[in-house]
Amino acid sequence: MPNFFSQPRERIATLPTPLEFMPRLTGLLGGPRIYLKRDDLTGLAFGGNKTRKLEYLLADAMQKGVTHFITEGGVQSNHVRQAAAAARLGGMQAELVLNTTDDDVPLQGNLLVDDLLGAHRHYVPTGPDRKPKMAELAERIKADGGVPYVVVSGGSDAVGALGYVAMILEMNQQLADQGVNPKCVYVANGSAGTQAGMILGVAMFGGGYAIKGFTVVPGSAAEITQDTLVLADQTAKRIGENPVDPALVVCDDTQFGSGYGIPTPAALEAIKLLANEQAILLDPVYSSKAFAGMIADIRAGLYSDGDSIVFVHTGGTPALFAKVDLLKPILTGG
């Protein structure tokens, strides 16, 4: 049976990403020692967590002789941006299905990068319209003699999640090298693939820490916990591993706020705080909400000053340039 180490992988990320101590932030918050796993620095077209998933998805596509790499997201999707770049490296045409109700979509942020990468963009009105459009594109490409490869939102399937199994192995080595024994590792949970892979990685390679995901998409914590568990088990099955212990899956929906892509006051504070104290930028959709959840846990007294915690920075910073209106409460304008 194939195991994790036999899975095809195309090395397109700049790895390992750094594991960095945040001294100023640690001092300001007065709680545990805070470390960042810098997956915003994976390198591919501004980087981000999706690049790790795409190492496995692209390799799978290349083995199948794919000509067209099809995926989906919002117009400012970080996944779509990285998928378009991965397709270029694999010699494939990126076909992007993006949902928007805007008749004149501004070419900025992630969408600008998609354009520069030569991706074909197909607009639909809503999220539920994306999958039928991808299926339609796939049929059209096959009819024209091409070989399509459809990637689900966020690259979050049993192939893509392998990228975060690998990340745990990488991070565990860094933790050992630096003598860090964290109590908890924090991460944003959108399409579940990142946290699912991390959970399976801990089940396989150990670590001794909890993984806590803060949800940034609609759905209760219970629903997203179940989705994450199902994906972790599907990934485990693919590589011949046992199902994971459900107790490993911890999701929290308290930072979601009023909607997807709408930063909460706590998320805006997190963006400002990390930028001012450590000169590191969070995105307004994913990482800022998870970072706000970590800050809330620190302020609630969950940790002593002898503890350590890790935040996995999943990237997404190009979205900042398309979300200026949402950032106005923390902008000085000077």
Residue 322 CA to residue 20 CA, distance in Å, equals: 28
Residues known to be catalytic = 77
E strand segments, the chain: 19-21, 33-38, 68-74, 93-99, 120-124, 148-150, 184-189, 210-215, 250-252, 308-313
Query: Taking a C-beta distance cutoff of 8 angstroms, is the pair 192, 228 a contact?
Result: yes
Residue 322 CA to residue 63 CA, distance in Å, equals: 36
Query: Can you tell me which residue has the tokens 């970590």?
Result: 294
Residue 81 CA to residue 86 CA, distance in Å, equals: 9
Query: Taking a C-beta distance cutoff of 8 angstroms, is the pair 296, 269 a contact?
Result: no
Query: Taking a C-beta distance cutoff of 8 angstroms, is the pair 119, 156 a contact?
Result: no
Distance of CA 168 to the CA centre of its chain: 14
Distance of CA 153 to the CA centre of its chain: 11
Q: Which pair of tokens denotes residue 232?
A: 């972790």
**How do 33-38 and 19-21 pair as beta strands?**
antiparallel
Residue 205 CA to residue 199 CA, distance in Å, equals: 10
Burial environment of residue 200 by CB neighbours within 10 A (0 to 12, 13 to 18, 19 or more) = buried
Residue 215 CA to residue 60 CA, distance in Å, equals: 28
Residue 251 CA to residue 289 CA, distance in Å, equals: 13
HSE toward the beta carbon, residue 333, CA cutoff 13 A: 4
